[in-house]
Chains A and B, each alone.
Chain A
């Protein structure tokens, strides 16, 4: 078994739309190459319209027109056998869904059928993949829910009878009951209260450690990444612009965008002025020439406007796509930990 459970190679996925004669191609995912190792939590950070949602859809084998995979491959190395979800047949995808690959979504209400009891929803999703019948299945589900600190009678409830936090825990339970090797979590805590968010995150980490699964955790909230991810990848305008171990990403970022994202986080105990970034995320239908970040980059030079920097390894396990990465310093306001060389 190799170290990598997921290998994405040169992935390109575009939205191709033709509506009343108007042709639009939105390059949502424009050449992404990355890997995820077994048992690690890989955080994906990016803003809305960065392409991260489309990237996740490709990973989860949930690509529907007008989104099309134009190039590249997404290869998983499951214990049941390798599979390229871009090229797999629906039957092969059906076999891995939920058992090897599962998906925790943002809105729990969009997963849980409001007119079906939780127990029935579990049966809808998980009974066939698990291949257990009635009694055995229920025991397995109850045992799993207990791990999430949910009482057994949750199974008899309707979604609206539960609080937001409990619903999200049910959604996580649903996604993990088959012990999948790979879990994709798409903003699972964004809509939750701060207190509940912390509980849910700690639960995700616990489950992940117990089952030794890999998790791709997508959120725009950098402070969540700081606390849950082992490695973080930053997606900007459809491309991966930096990737590295969490600690390095926060205390020694090598891309101006990452440095800004980290420095702009306000912190309790600190009232110094936070930097703000000019401009706005680019339109993916018409991205800027050269480096896509150059219109907003404080370090931009002519080279950045002409040539797009490739993603290169610049330190241990640390890649960045910036011509001037050596000059990127943590911006004003970043707190370095005492005793750790920056």
Chain B
């Protein structure tokens, strides 16, 4: 089995504050998982704000360096300070999709600029026709076309279309791995599912692995193969998506699941929260514990 991405014991801490009152914040503590190159999958990282999921994503993309452990992509260490050539090489294999579709493109410039630049740089060509062809192909994969997008500015398109353009841009170098950080949280409800379905088809039809970062358990259930749940920088539960979400074991996972609002009791919603569960969870936050494997293939953090 060839490894695509290997995250080994990764930690990241930030020091805040000045000379007086220095504080160390542990954004990510001891995260480990790996993705195989043989089976494209959607690997989901679930977490609330402050869980460290965005920091982890940034480290995988090489935008930050871990303070402990290391991240290897296809055997090569992911390093923010690597030479430009090796960073470009990395970027041709790993591309991001970020949260805000309206900020994905420079508001003052035409959208196709970034697509053309990606094609030019990563397909190593300056031929106008080749660039246009590659751009059009990528746009077709997301349900758009170059004809529709040419000459348009970001404000002329909806959030859903912009996010699709961003995904198309990320697909131009044919990367085996996409890192999508909350790609649909800022997209309108009626356009959201088309993007989520698109991610699914990227895995099924194009063989692209996606690291999908979200706080929404429902979409995670819908498209993930495996997932990890993070709380305050630590992985508390990890495993096959359906196994974990149908029957979460860790108290935090259970609290998350019970807090998800369902439409099943529409009109008679039960909004009661269990204060015992909440206090139990906040008592556990930040405690190291250790990850143990369970029979059904999941890993859970225990504190005994």
Contact = CB atoms under 8 A, between A and B. Distances in A.
Interface stretch (A22-30, A60-68, A138-146, A245-253): A245-253
B265 interface: yes
Contacts of B269: 226-228
A215 interface: no
Given A195-B48, A226-B263, A246-B266, A266 B222 contact: yes
Contacts of B263: 222-223, 226, 250, 262, 265, 267, 335
Given A193-B48, A261-B189, A268-B218, A227 B265 contact: yes
A328 to B, nearest CB: 16
Contacts of A265: 218, 263
Interface residues of B, number: 45
Given A195-B48, A226-B262, A267-B262, A274 B256 contact: no
Contacts of B191: 276-277, 280
Interface in A177-216: 193-195, 197-199, 201-202, 205
A202 B188 contact: no
Nearest to B242: A271
A276 B264 contact: no
Contacts of A274: 193, 196-197, 222
B245 A268 contact: yes
Contacts of B268: 247
Nearest to B159: A48
Nearest to B264: A335
A119 interface: no
A260 interface: yes
Contacts of B261: 197-198, 201, 221, 223-224, 226-227
A306 to B, nearest CB: 24
A201 B262 CA distance: 14
A36 B73 CA distance: 57
Contact of A202 (B217, B262, B273): B273
Interface string B253-274: 0011101111111111111110
A250 B268 CA distance: 12
Given A205-B271, A269-B246, A337 B264 contact: yes
A164 interface: yes
A281 B260 CA distance: 27
A35 interface: no
Contacts of A329: none
Contacts of A298: none
Interface in B202-243: 215-219, 221-222, 242
Contacts of B216: 266
A246 B193 CA distance: 22
A37 interface: no
B197 A268 contact: no
Contacts of A269: 221, 246
Interface in B267-284: 267-273, 278
Contacts of B265: 226-227
Q: 5 smallest A-B Cβ distances: which pairs?
A: A227-B269, A247-B267, A276-B194, A202-B271, A250-B266
6 contacts: A226-B266, A227-B266, A227-B270, A264-B189, A268-B246, A268-B257
Interface of A: 47-48, 164, 193-195, 197-199, 201-202, 205, 220-228, 230, 245-247, 249-251, 257, 260-262, 264-271, 273-277, 280-281, 296, 335, 337
